[in-house]
């Protein structure tokens, strides 16, 4: 039952789990597109930002990527995570909605601008990081620097940058939905 | 920060490696038996006539039931710690241990005199059973909840409850070596109640600690 799209994702994810940064970035970009479409199909009323669900799901995929079983297809795994995070988002907004993976397929997509909304939840969570973690995460994400460039710019060694990035992302993932 | 920025920071963090779930569950199972054994030998220890008891069918059969439950609950909770687990596929093997005990009850009811039923059902150790199994299983349960937190269960409460069943089965394997009530009637009633206690604790704890 494994389609071509899934096989490609599995190749990228396997490479990522072996430490390939470029493959991982491509994997996450494709996942973001899939989850964005998934969330927009299911969010038919306001109150929940599709892009918040995308970011929350990506963070969960990142911190929980060891829960993928390499002998199984990728898509059921990532949609299970997306569904969990979507239900979480609805719950936070105080809406009771049954989310069915096959349902709502033809619902009208919620049209939203990606740039403005994603400032909201993620920006708020960034504010709760320690100053060191925050400057490392921002240097790599917003400024687009590599680990090495960040180490130079912030006058830290690379190991410390990696640790701060790793802890920062874990903290963001843990606090995103609160 | 937009989504592309987030992806940049996550791909830069690619080198970080978490322990694979399979290894985590293997370590948790080994640690659980070690912890349960330690608490068991400190608190109660095996019964004095264990050699003679091994010659009967009822005493060894208790271990068949508890170890079957432990193995099936281990498989079930390990599966449920993955977000894409199928609940039915994970849970169906948990029927094995109850099926064994039902078969043993049938043999017991057919072979013992009627007036022996109630004494065997009530037993002599029932309150100890209800205290000792949760006490021996508490640390294993804490360990399993930690592994669930490391994982990503789609149903944290359910996964926590099965973790409680697993902890109870490990604890019951040791407790059975202490207890002199060997009738399947006793095991079916009191061991199940003790298991229910840990399952409820696991359910409540799982709902809070295994959310992600």
Residue B153 · residue B81 · CB < 8 Å: yes
Shortest alpha-carbon distance between residue B211 and chain A (Å): 10
| CB-CB neighbors (< 8 A) of A123 in chain B | 1
| CB-CB neighbors (< 8 A) of A168 in chain B | 9
Out of A29, A69, A142, the one facing B82 most closely (by C-beta) is A69
| CB-CB neighbors (< 8 A) of B13 in chain A | 62, 162, 165-166, 169
Q: What residues have CB less than 8 Å from B129, skipping those under 6 apart?
A: B123, B175, B179, B181, B190, B191, B194
Q: Tokens representing A29?
A: 């970009």
Query: HEC profile for chain B?
Result: CCHHHHHHHHHHCCCCCCCCHHHHHHHHHHHHHHHHHHHHHHHCCCCCCHHHHCCCCHHHHHHHHHHHHHHHHHHHHHHHCCCCCCHHHHHHHHHHHHHHHHHHHHHHHHHCCHHHHHHHHHCCCHHHHHHHHHHHHHHHHHHHHHHHHHCCCCCHHHHHHHHHHHHHHHHHHHHHHHCCCCCHHHHHHHHHHHHHHHHHHHHHHHHHHCCC
**pLDDT category, A118, cuts 50, 70, 90?**
very low
Percent of chain A at pLDDT exceeding 70 = 82
CA–CA dist A45, B160 (Å, integer) = 33
Question: What integer best gives the mean pLDDT of chain B?
Answer: 95
Q: What is the pLDDT of residue B74?
A: 98
Task: Give the distance, in angstroms, between the CA of residue A79 and the centroid of all CA atoms in the same chain.
Answer: 12
Q: What is the pLDDT of residue A100?
A: 52
pLDDT tops 80 at residue A36: yes
Question: ∠ at Cα B209 (B204, B211), nearest 5°?
Answer: 100
Q: pLDDT tens digits, residue range A47-105?
A: 788 888 999 999 999 999 999 999 999 999 999 999 999 998 888 877 555 555 454 44
| CB-CB neighbors (< 8 A) of A165 in chain B | 9, 12-13
Which chain A residue shows the shortest CA-CA distance from B151? A67
Shortest alpha-carbon distance between residue A102 and chain B (Å): 15
Q: What is the pLDDT of residue A177?
A: 65
Among residues 75-134 of chain A, which lie with CB inside 8 Å of chain B? 76-77, 79-81, 83-84, 114-115, 118-119, 122-123, 126
Length of chain A: 178
Q: What is the pLDDT of residue B17?
A: 80
* Greater pLDDT, A4 or B118: B118
Percent of chain B at pLDDT exceeding 90 = 92
**Average pLDDT of B15-43?**
95
Q: What is the pLDDT of residue A116?
A: 47
| CB-CB neighbors (< 8 A) of B15 in chain A | 19, 162
Among residues 147-176 of chain A, which lie with CB inside 8 Å of chain B? 147, 162, 165-166, 168-169
| CB-CB neighbors (< 8 A) of B151 in chain A | 64, 67
Q: What is the pLDDT of residue A111?
A: 47
Residue B108 · residue B185 · CB < 8 Å: yes
Out of A20, A80, A140, the one facing B154 most closely (by C-beta) is A80
Q: What is the pLDDT of residue A119?
A: 54
Residue B62 · residue B181 · CB < 8 Å: no
Which chain A residue shows the shortest CA-CA distance from B9? A141
Lowest mean pLDDT among A144-148, B57-61, B106-110, B147-151: A144-148
* Residue appearing with tokens 């973790």: B163
Percent of chain B at pLDDT exceeding 70 = 100
**pLDDT category, B15, cuts 50, 70, 90?**
confident
pLDDT tops 80 at residue A113: no
Residue B45 · residue B178 · CB < 8 Å: yes
B23 in reach of chain A (CB within 8 A): no
Question: What integer best gives the mean pLDDT of chain A?
Answer: 83
**Average pLDDT of B65-90?**
96
Q: What is the pLDDT of residue B137?
A: 98
User: Is the Cβ pair A141, B15 closer than 8 Å?
Assistant: no
**Average pLDDT of A108-120?**
48
Out of B1, B15, B82, the one facing A126 most closely (by C-beta) is B1
pLDDT tops 90 at residue B1: no
| CB-CB neighbors (< 8 A) of A142 in chain B | 1, 5
């Amino acid at each position: 039952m494994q389609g071509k799209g899934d096989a490609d994702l599995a190749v990228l994810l396997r490479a990522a789990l072996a430490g390939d940064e470029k493959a991982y970035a491509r994997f996450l970009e494709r996942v973001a597109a899939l989850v964005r479409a998934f969330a927009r199909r299911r969010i038919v009323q306001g109150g929940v930002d599709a892009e918040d669900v995308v970011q929350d799901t990506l963070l969960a995929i990142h911190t929980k990527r060891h829960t993928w079983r390499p002998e199984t297809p990728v898509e059921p795994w990532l949609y299970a995570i997306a569904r969990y995070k979507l239900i979480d988002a609805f719950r936070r907004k105080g809406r009771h909605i049954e989310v069915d993976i096959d349902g709502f397929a033809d619902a009208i997509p919620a049209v939203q601008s990606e740039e403005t909304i994603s400032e909201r939840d993620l920006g708020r969570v960034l504010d709760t990081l320690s100053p060191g973690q925050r400057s490392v995460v921002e240097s790599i994400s917003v400024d687009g620097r590599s680990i090495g460039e960040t180490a130079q710019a912030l006058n830290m060694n690379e190991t410390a940058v990696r640790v701060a990035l790793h802890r920062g992302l874990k903290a963001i993932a843990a606090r995103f939905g609160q | 920060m937009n989504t592309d920025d987030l992806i940049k920071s996550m791909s830069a963090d690619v080198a970080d490696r978490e322990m694979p779930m399979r290894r985590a569950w293997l370590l948790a199972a080994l640690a659980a038996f070690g912890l349960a054994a330690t608490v068991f030998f400190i608190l109660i220890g095996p019964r004095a006539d264990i050699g003679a008891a091994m010659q009967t069918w009822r005493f060894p059969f208790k271990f068949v039931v508890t170890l079957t439950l432990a193995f099936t609950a281990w498989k079930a909770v390990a599966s449920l710690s993955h977000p894409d687990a199928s609940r039915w596929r994970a849970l169906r093997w948990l029927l094995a241990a109850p099926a064994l005990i039902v078969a043993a009850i049938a043999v017991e009811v057919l072979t013992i005199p009627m007036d022996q039923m109630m004494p065997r059902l009530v037993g002599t150790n029932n309150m100890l059973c209800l205290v000792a199994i949760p006490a021996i299983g508490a640390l294993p349960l804490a360990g399993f909840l930690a592994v669930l937190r490391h994982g990503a269960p789609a149903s944290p409460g359910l996964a926590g409850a099965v973790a409680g069943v697993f902890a109870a089965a490990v604890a019951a394997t040791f407790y059975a070596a202490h207890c002199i009530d060997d009738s399947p009637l006793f095991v079916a009633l009191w061991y199940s109640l003790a298991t229910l206690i840990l399952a409820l604790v696991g359910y409540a704890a799982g709902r809070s600690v295994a959310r992600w």
